[in-house]
Each structure stands twice: as structure tokens, then as C-alpha cells.
Structure 1
């Protein structure tokens, strides 16, 4: 009887595992298809401006897919998310209007509706990057301070791929089309502070889609750097 009960548990858990696996696979498929379409449209289509206008929609979809796999919707996560959204947005406000933090740059029209000259979607991009890089480094058996720094450095690495194509995509443009070192130092500093918050916030830091979101982002911008 005991053995039968154990087997029943094992077999009943199997469909749940398969269903979860299928959901991840479907989400990855949708993610990849949308980025392939966006990549083709921006790099090879006769009307790249039309595809640029869909950039914000693509980012919204990516966030929706990513957070549909988030496990703990509690007050701690809500506080974390709101702080990242606000810090990300207002760091851009400071950056654009003063030149502090990142350097001298201005946003174009490629990321949609703006408030105080900053696309609102950029706050969601900060949340996506902090969250997904934070999830990724959780697998490391390091001190939480080192995890925070590693995740921030990973964000800077991705930014190094994004920056060279932003002017072409009309996302943002640097003064004299030169990317200053202060941009990467500013990214590292702001990202590190937000990752300290991530590490100390009490919510479950597991998300099956996060590594795929980061992987697609890296491949997308590596590809754009090669063809634009």
C-alpha cells in the first residue's frame, strides 16, 4: 500500500511537470518569433521605421511573458518592482536633463510615448533587466554582494551591445555620437544598487523564462551590431 501511494504521487506529478515544460517552451517560441520578426524588420525590411514603432510593444510582450512565470506575488516583490521602476525612470530623467550619471544623450522616437522626455517603457526595461539578471546569478554559490555585482556587470555587458545601434534605431543618441565611459560606470552603479535591493528582497527568486529572455536579448543585439 505504501509503495502504491508513492508511485501514485510520482505519476501524478509527471503531468504537472510536462505541462510546466510545455508552457516554458511555448513562451520561448513566442519570444523568439517576435524577436526574429523584429530583427528582420529593423535590419532588412523596406520600412524599418514601422518596426521601430513596435519596439515598445515587443518590450511589453517580453515583460508579460517573463512575469507570467514569476512565483511570488507578495508585498516584498511589489515594493521591489515599484522601486526599480521609479529609480530606473528617474535616473534617466537626471541623465537626460543634467548629463549626470550616464553622460550627454537624448531619446528619439523609437521607444514610444515620453514623459519629461523619457520614454515610459524605459522604466519597464530597467525592471526586466534587473529582475532577469538577478534571477540568473542566483544559481551561483557566491556571497550576495558578489551576486549583486555580477548581475550589474551582466547588465553593463548587454548595454555595451545595445549602445552602438541605438542611434540607428532612433532609441537614443549621444552627443557627437560618442558613447562616454561614464555611461557604463553609471549603469554599473545604478544597477548595483538595484541588485542589492533584489538580493535582500524577500520573494522567491526563480523564473524558468528569465535565462531565455536574457539569451534572446543578447542574440538580438549581437545580430543588429553585425548587420547595421
Structure 2
């Protein structure tokens, strides 16, 4: 039953990203699919929770900490410009508190969790090296995300340029959160999360090619 639910969740991850890709590639449906982005993030979070089969207190602690840290780092980032550079959020990510989308923490959970699970597959015993490689992968993903995010009003940058500082900020924060992820004592094997990690790269890569 557990294996079956994991594969179902993995299938749904692929399906909803494929549908989302189709929607964003057709201009007449872009407005509708932008409105669906918050629901997509919540769905992905739900699928990751369902497909995770060791939901102990450390797992829930990670989720809460990752959400909180993700929201706070964005709050500081937007209000100071000292972490990622000068940027503001658009409307695509949904309702905001203090000009920060409430779901930005969910986005950070998904990125950190899926990358952490993906890195566990490589059996790298040194947590520092594992976190460094994972942070590099996340930063690479952000390189793909940025043009798409700007085009579809996820967020926008001062002078319409993404500063190198942003990627440094992503790398450092991702490294810290991955270190925390690996230190938490819960089961870290989840096929659906590995699929999510891969699909995110494919999704944003194809959107870069087709729309940016």
C-alpha cells in the first residue's frame, strides 16, 4: 500500500507539472494557470507529505522550520535588499503578509525536501559535501526559475536584472537548510520527491526555451 501510494503521488507530480507546462505555453490560458499556481504548490506539498512514510516529530519539525525560515528569509530579503538583492513579489504566488506571499515558505519546503531526498540517493556519507552539492543544484534550479518567475509575475527585480548576489544568497541559505534537513532524524527515501526534483528542472528548462 505504501509503495503504491508513493507511485501514485509520483504520477500526479508528473501529470500536474505537464498540465501546468501546457497551460503556460498557451497564451490564452496563462492568466488562468497563474491563478492556479498557489493551489499547485499546496498540492505538491500534500503529495510529498502523503508519499513520505515516516512522518515522525522530526519530519514535522523540519516542515515547520523550513516554512518559517523560508518566509523569514524572504521577509528580510524584500525589506533590506541585503540577502538576495532588491526585488518585490507580484501576484502569482497568491495572498501576502507584509508583502511576502504566504506560500513562499511552501516553495522552500518543496525545493529543500526534494533536493535533500535526491541527494540521499547518491549515498554521500559526508553531510557537508552532500549539502554543498545539493545547494549547488538548487542554485542551478534558480538560474532556470528566474526568467520564468519574472515573465509570469512571481517576482520582479530592480532594473530588471537578477544580481549575482541573489544566487549567492540562494546557495548559502540552501546549504544551511540542507544541513538542517540531513540532521533531522526521519526517513529520507521518497520516490515521489526524487521525481519532483527532476520534474522541476524539466519544467523550468522547457519554459525557458519556449517562452523566455
Q: TM-score, normalised on structure 2?
A: 0.94
Q: CA deviation at 1:120?
A: 0.9
Is 1:227 matched with 2:210?
yes
Report SS of the residue matched to 1:68.
helix
CA–CA separation in structure 2 for the residues paired with 1:67 and 1:149: 25
More relative contact order in 1 or in 2 (CA 8 Å, sep 6+)?
A: 2
CA–CA separation in structure 1 for the residues paired with 2:7 and 2:55: 23
CA–CA separation in structure 2 for the residues paired with 1:208 and 1:25: 7
Cα 1:137–1:121, aligned 2, differ >3 Å: closer, same or farther?
same
- Deviation track 1:17-71 (CA, whole Å, cap 9, x = no partner) reads xx55543333233222211221121121413111101011111111111121112
- Deviation track 1:62-85 (CA, whole Å, cap 9, x = no partner) reads 111112111222222222221111
User: Runs of 4 or more off by more than 6 Å in structure 1?
Assistant: none
Question: Could you tell me which of 137, 147, 160 is aligned with 1:177?
Answer: 160
Structure 1: which 5+ runs fail to align? 1-18
CA–CA separation in structure 1 for the residues paired with 2:11 and 2:55: 25
Larger mean CA deviation between 134-143 and 153-162 belongs to 134-143
| Count of paired positions | 210
Q: CA deviation at 1:156?
A: 0.7
1:68 paired residue number: 50
Question: Could you tell me which of 177, 180, 202 is aligned with 1:194?
Answer: 177
Report SS of the residue matched to 2:172.
helix
Q: Does the Cα contact within 8 Å between 2:112 and 2:174 map onto a contact in 1?
A: yes
Is 1:143 matched with 2:118?
no
Question: Could you tell me which of 71, 74, 77 is aligned with 1:89?
Answer: 71
Higher Rg: 1
Report SS of the residue matched to 2:51.
coil
Is 1:154 matched with 2:137?
yes
CA–CA separation in structure 1 for the residues paired with 2:60 and 2:8: 27
